[in-house]
Amino acid sequence: MREHETTDVIFGSDFPLDKTDLQICLNLQTLKTHMAHGRTVVLVYCEALYESLYDLLNQHYTEFGGKLYVRLAFGTSNKLCEIHKNFRVIVIVEKIDAYNRLAPR
C-alpha cells in the first residue's frame, strides 16, 4: 500500500470531453510533474493515455548524468522527462482488458 500523502489518482472515462487533446495534455502534465517529484500515480481507466506512456509502461528508460528519463509522447511530438527514483505508477483496468486488449502480443 502506498502512502496516501504521496499518491494521486488520475481517472479516465468514456465521456467525450475526457478524451480531448486538451484533457490528455493536462493529464500528461500532471503525470510528468508527479514523476519528477517521486509521487505515486494511480491511473484508473486511462486508456486515452496509454499510447503516450508507451515507454514508461514498458520501462524503456534512458540514463544520463546519474538520472533516469523516459520519453512521453503526444501526437507527433515527444519529450524526455525525468523520473524520480521514488516514482511509481499503478494502472487499474478491467481484468479482461489486462489479459486481452493491453497485453503484449
Look at residue 18 and tell me whether its pLDDT is greater than 80. no
The CATH number that domain 4-93 falls under is 3.40.50.300
Pick the more confident residue, 102 or 91: 91
Look at residue 35 and tell me whether its pLDDT is greater than 60. yes
* 65 band by pLDDT with thresholds 50, 70 and 90: very high
Q: Rounded to whole angstroms, how far apart are CA atoms 72 and 57?
A: 10
Average pLDDT, the chain: 89
